[in-house]
Structure formats: C-alpha cells, structure tokens
Amino acid sequence: MDEFSLIRRWFAELTPPGEGIALGIGDDCALLVPPPGAQLAISTDTLIAGRHFPQETTAADIGWKSLAVSLSDLAAMGAQPFAFTLALSLPAVDEPWLAGFADGLRECARTAGIALVGGDTTRGPLSITITVLGHLPPETALRRDAARSGDLICVSGTLGDAALALRFWQDGRAPASAHERMLRARLDRPTPRNAAGVASRGLAHAAIDLSDGLLGDLGHICQASGVGAELAIGELPASPAFAALAPTDARLGLQIAGGDDYELCLCVPPAQLEAVRKAYGALPLTVIGRIVEVPGIRLRDAAGAIVTSPAQAYRHFS
C-alpha cells in the first residue's frame, strides 16, 4: 500500500466536509472559507511515541490525543474549531493500527466539529503532527499578555490526574481499579475545553491551556503580561481518584508541574467570576489565586506562608 492508497483508505473521508470547507483532501492544497470578517487562529503540535504517550498506548487513544492537545490550544484562545491537517510518520503500514488510530481521530474530530482537510504521510519513526485552525471575531482572542493585577486565577476541571497516571505507568502499575482507569483515561483521552474557551471570550482577560504544568504555563501569562501571581495551594482542585491515590508527598508537585491536564487557566476580573461560572455550566471552575503586580509566582499555604515549590514545569531540551 503506497501513501496515496493509505490516505484514500483511512483519511480521505474521515470527517464530513464541514461548513466553510470549499475543497478538502485530494488536491495540492485545501481551500477554506472562514466566516466573513473572522480572524483565524492556528496552532501546531507534534506527538512522539515514548515521549508524549506511552509506547503501549492503544492506536485509538493516540488518534484521540493527537487532535485533542491541539484543540486545547484553540480553547485557550477562545477560537471555534474549524479545520485541521495531519502529518503522519509511520515505520510501516500496519492496517489494524491505522484502523484504530483513524477511529480515535474521527471520534475526537466529530466531538469538536472539526474537519480534516489535508496533510502528509511518510515512512519513519512514529510521530504525529497536527495543525488546527479555528476562527473568532476580531479583538476577542484570550491572549497571554492581557492579565491585570487583581484578576482571579481560575482553573477548569481538576489538576494532576494525567501526571499521576503517567507515574503509575512508569512504575509498571497497570490500571485495575475504577479510580486508576479514570486517571489513565485523563492521560490517554484528555478533554479539550473548547466550549469553555469560546464562552470565556469577553469575560476573562487572559487564558492558557495547561499542557506543561500550572507553574510553567501560568508563568507564560505572567511574563507576557508583566505581572506576578500568588497561588493558594490548598485550593488546587483534585478529582476523587487523585485524592484517593496520590501519595501525600507528591500531590503538590503533580498538580503544579505534572502537565498533561489540558484544562484552562484563566485570569478573570472578580466582577465577572459568576458570569464565567454560569457560562461553564457543569464544568467546575476553581479560584486558586490572584494576579499581583510583583513579578514571580509565589505558593502560599492555608496560613499564608510561602511554600517552596517541589517541582518545575516540563520543558523540552532542558
């Protein structure tokens, strides 16, 4: 099977064309028609086997996660998902693997309402590169450089689940209980918060998705906005599974530096907090701190004392 047969069989009709897709897979370029006057938001992510997902991760879970992590970038900007491309490197044509990968990719794409419009396939070590496109009205993007002193620092969902699942995998601990399976699902199939991101436009000042850990990602907001942050470590939201299984001495490090949460971290004016919570519906939104004028991120315990960070966020090449 050559690359063109592979594309026709597994990807040419993976998703419906979608509104605004004038021409999708099958030509030298895709032709897209975003809504009149809209700005385009574009982001690219590459996932490498053994670094971004465990080697034994199922093909369907790899397909889901490959798209979900890029969709999370659109969520952080408040952009509506629109179209995506896929560049896939494979060591060999493995039809059962391709079937599973396509199933997971299709499921995530349909959940988000995004269309596959092109890409590339080649022989090589397993890697997946996805570029996503979203659209949003001009001047409404949730940028990193717009946080203001006094903003409440909020996070959606819970923190630390995927990092704990990864630690269990590294220790050779297969998921057996319901709690362990839930944690592993958070690692293998993160939920991009696209609806929440769109709902945050006009309410939050700034946002970022939590991919490399709260400390590092919030640090990007602080650096871009020229501000600092104070976090109340006792307010970090935890799932029942994390609360039950995380070792006491590792909890803080997993929640602030573990990464792979793919939740939203928002800087919200106090007057808009309830409006954001109402817009999020059943998705929890937790206040974990406040933006301040003094640069740097400080962790405080329940008594207000400064706590030394037990870990740092993940950084490639460091």
Q: Would you say 28 is a known binding-site residue?
A: yes
CA distance 290 to 146: 14
The tens digit of pLDDT for each residue in 97-148 reads: 999 999 999 999 999 999 999 988 889 888 999 999 999 999 999 999 999 9
Q: Would you say 209 is a known binding-site residue?
A: yes
The tens digit of pLDDT for each residue in 264-282 reads: 999 999 999 999 999 999 9
CA distance 261 to 187: 8
The reported pTM is 0.93
Question: Residue 274 — φ and ψ, nearest 5°?
Answer: -65, -30
Across 221-228, average pLDDT = 98
Which pairing describes strands 127-136 and 39-48: parallel, antiparallel, or unpaired? antiparallel
CA distance 211 to 260: 5
Q: Would you say 119 is a known binding-site residue?
A: yes
Q: In CATH, what number does 144-304 get? A: 3.90.650.10
The tens digit of pLDDT for each residue in 148-157 reads: 999 999 999 9
Work out the pLDDT band at 49, boundaries 50, 70, 90. confident
CA distance 100 to 241: 28
* pLDDT given at position 2: 67
Q: Would you say 52 is a known binding-site residue?
A: yes
CA distance 115 to 12: 11
Give the residue among 185, 193, 152 at the shortest CA–CA distance from 168. 185
Q: Would you say 145 is a known binding-site residue?
A: no
Q: Would you say 260 is a known binding-site residue?
A: yes
Decide if pLDDT at 1 tops 70.
no
Distance of CA 46 to the CA centre of its chain: 13
Q: Would you say 188 is a known binding-site residue?
A: no
Q: Give the residue extent of every domain in the chain.
A: 3-136, 144-304
Q: Which residue has the higher pLDDT, 53 or 76?
A: 76
Q: Would you say 2 is a known binding-site residue?
A: no
Q: Would you say 43 is a known binding-site residue?
A: yes
Q: Are 3-136 and 144-304 the same fold in CATH? A: no
Q: In CATH, what number does 3-136 get? A: 3.30.1330.10
